[in-house]
C-alpha cells in the first residue's frame, strides 16, 4: 500500500518524467545537505515533496540495484521510496535495502554526522548502523559552459561597436552619393 495519498499530493510539489525527477531529487538532496548521488534511480515517473512535514516520495518504473563502487556496497531501491527529510537527515525511510554478506537489510535512517568530517551514517530499524565517507555517495555534476570572462566580453562588444560604426559610415556614403 502506498503512503502517498491524494491529500498529501494536493499539498505537495509533484514532478513527472525521468529527467526532471532526477534533477529535482538531486536538488532536494543538496538542499537538505546530503550527497547528490544517494538516490541513483532510473526511469523515475514521479517525485513529490510536501515541504511542511518534509515528506518526500519517488516512484520509478521498477526496483533497481545499484553498487556504490567506492565502498563496494549493493543497494536495492523499490519502485516506491518514501521518507521524511530535514537538514542533514532522512528519517522513516521506506523502500531502500542494502546487502550485508548474503542478507538484504532494510534502511530507515540516513544522516550526515558532522559535515566537516564528511561522514554519513545509515541505520536499520533494529539500531544497527554503518558509517562511510560522504564522498562515496557524491556524483560529479556535468560542467556547464563557463561564462566568458569580462575581458573577452568587452572585446566582443568593442568589435561589434566598430562593425556598427563601419556599417553606418557606408550607409552615410551611399546616401550622399544618391543625393
Tell me how far apart the alpha carbons of residues 22 and 52 are, in angstroms, rounded to a whole number: 22
Rg (CA), the chain: 26
Which residues, at least 6 apart from 118, have a Cβ–Cβ distance to it below 8 Å? 133, 134, 135
pLDDT single digits (tens) 22-81: 999 999 999 999 999 999 998 999 999 999 999 999 999 999 999 999 999 999 999 999
Which residues, at least 6 apart from 110, have a Cβ–Cβ distance to it below 8 Å? 34, 38, 89, 90, 93, 120, 121, 122, 123
How many angstroms separate the first and last alpha carbons of the chain?
85
pLDDT single digits (tens) 146-179: 555 677 777 777 777 776 777 667 666 655 666 5
23 neighbors 7 (Cβ within 8 angstroms):
no
Q: Would you state the pLDDT for residue 179?
A: 58
Residue appearing with cell numbers 543625393: 179
Residue appearing with cell numbers 566537516: 116
Amino acid at each position: 500500500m502506498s503512503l502517498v495519498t491524494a491529500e498529501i499530493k494536493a499539498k505537495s510539489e509533484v514532478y513527472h518524467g525521468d529527467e526532471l525527477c532526477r534533477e529535482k531529487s538531486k536538488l532536494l538532496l543538496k538542499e537538505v545537505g546530503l550527497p547528490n548521488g544517494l538516490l541513483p534511480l532510473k526511469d523515475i515517473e514521479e517525485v513529490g515533496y510536501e515541504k511542511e512535514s518534509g515528506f518526500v516520495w519517488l516512484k520509478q518504473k521498477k526496483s533497481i540495484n545499484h553498487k556504490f563502487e567506492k565502498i563496494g556496497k549493493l543497494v536495492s531501491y523499490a519502485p516506491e521510496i518514501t521518507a521524511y527529510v530535514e537538514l542533514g537527515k532522512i528519517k522513516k525511510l521506506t523502500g531502500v535495502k542494502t546487502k550485508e554478506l548474503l542478507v538484504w537489510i532494510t534502511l530507515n535512517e540516513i544522516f550526515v554526522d558532522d559535515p566537516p568530517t564528511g561522514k554519513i551514517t545509515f541505520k536499520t530499524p533494529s539500531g544497527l548502523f554503518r558509517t562511510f565517507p560522504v564522498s562515496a555517495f557524491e556524483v560529479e555534476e556535468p560542467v556547464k559552459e563557463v561564462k566568458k570572462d569580462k575581458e573577452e566580453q568587452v572585446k566582443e562588444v568593442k568589435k561589434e561597436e566598430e562593425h556598427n560604426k563601419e556599417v553606418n559610415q557606408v550607409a552615410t556614403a551611399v546616401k550622399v552619393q544618391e543625393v
